[in-house]
Amino acid sequence: MCLAIPGKVVSISGDDPLTRMGRINFSGIVKEACLAYVPEVQIGDYVIVHVGFALSKVDEDEAQKVFEYLKRMGELGELKEGEK
């Protein structure tokens, strides 16, 4: 099963809304994601990411709750696979 995971936007590159990319911090693991579906997102916002695409914004409290659940389940290690 695939999950959408929350992460914090730490940088944004590109001016074209369709090709804009962000570096997303998933509790210490940083990966790139496409920001085309969330043009309003800015550095410091939290987004839900699935298969390399940020799908929506989420508030920080909710993101932290998900990280805590994933830590308890031992599932954060899966984010490291194929790490860039």
What's the confidence (pLDDT) of residue 80? Answer: 58
Helix (H, G, I), strand (E, B) or coil at 46: strand
What's the confidence (pLDDT) of residue 58? Answer: 93
What are the residue ranges spanned by the domains of the chain? 5-77
Question: Which CATH number applies to 5-77: 3.40.720.10, 3.30.70.1560, 3.40.50.10890, 2.30.30.140?
Answer: 2.30.30.140
Percent share of the chain, pLDDT over 90: 57
pLDDT exceeds cutoff 70 at 76: no
pLDDT exceeds cutoff 70 at 78: no
End-to-end distance of the chain based on CA atoms, in angstroms?
A: 22
Give the closest residue to 4 by CA, choosing from 84, 70, 61, 68: 70
